[in-house]
């Protein structure tokens, strides 16, 4: 039984949710998001500023999709009201980040700068303070997109366990390993 799927989603003031066949659209102050309900056994109903996601059968596939679609719709509602942010820190000597509009330019210890162009849905801001690692701050109303972009930026220089250099999420702890010791 899906406990997540059973719980209703409360719609805040200013948020409008429409269901057209198998497409759910959520409109709010921060934009509009769409989600296709690919499973035919899942139905979405709006009642009294609450959204209920129900399933038609007790099949294992429908049970798993029940909680998934409920959470996706909940993330959409939160995204159009509050939005999401992801902050990435660049740890390493000489690691820098700057942006010109949607173009993110990073110096990550390679012989060339790494250029990454972000989609219009994601806003980027770079923060460089003396004594602290550079920070790349991403903001968007789409949780899935911001997660994918943050993972892609992190893949340019994954944190390594010996010196701790690389790109990591703010507050993320890297499990460190001991290096070689001189054997005598």
Q: What is the pLDDT of residues 132-176, one digit of tens each?
A: 999 999 999 999 999 999 999 999 999 999 998 999 999 989 999
- Does 125 map to a domain? yes
User: Cα dihedral sign for 112, 116, 117, 122?
Assistant: negative
pLDDT grade for 1, boundaries at 50, 70 and 90:
very low
Helical H segments across 50-91, by residue range: 60-81
| Range(s) of the domain holding residue 37 | 3-81
**11 and 69 share one domain:** yes
11: CATH: 3.90.930.12
Does 95 score more than 70 pLDDT? yes
- pLDDT (average), residues 1-7: 75
**117 and 161 share one domain:** yes
- Does 64 map to a domain? yes
Instruction: Please tell me the total count of domains within the chain.
Output: 2
Does 84 score more than 90 pLDDT? yes
- pLDDT (average), residues 85-100: 94
pLDDT grade for 123, boundaries at 50, 70 and 90:
very high
**94 and 164 share one domain:** yes
Hey, what are 125's tokens? 């801001």
In whole angstroms, give the CA distance from residue 91 to residue 102. Answer: 22
């Amino acid at each position: 039984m899906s406990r997540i799927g059973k719980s209703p989603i409360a719609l805040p003031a200013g948020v409008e949710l429409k269901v057209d066949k198998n497409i759910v659209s959520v409109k709010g102050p921060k934009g509009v998001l769409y989600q296709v309900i690919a499973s035919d056994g899942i139905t979405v109903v709006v009642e009294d500023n609450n959204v209920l996601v129900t399933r038609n059968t007790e099949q294992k596939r429908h049970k798993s999709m029940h909680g998934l679609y409920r959470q996706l719709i909940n993330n959409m509602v939160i995204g159009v009201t509050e939005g999401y942010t992801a902050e990435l820190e660049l740890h390493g000597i000489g690691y820098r980040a700057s942006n010109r509009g949607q173009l993110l330019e990073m110096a990550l210890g390679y012989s060339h700068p790494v250029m990454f162009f972000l989609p219009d849905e994601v806003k980027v801001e770079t923060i460089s303070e003396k004594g602290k690692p550079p920070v790349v701050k991403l903001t968007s109303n789409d949780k899935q997109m911001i997660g994918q972009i943050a993972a892609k930026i992190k893949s340019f220089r994954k944190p390594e366990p010996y010196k701790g250099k690389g790109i990591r999420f703010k507050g993320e702890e890297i499990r460190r390993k001991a290096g070689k010791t001189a054997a005598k």
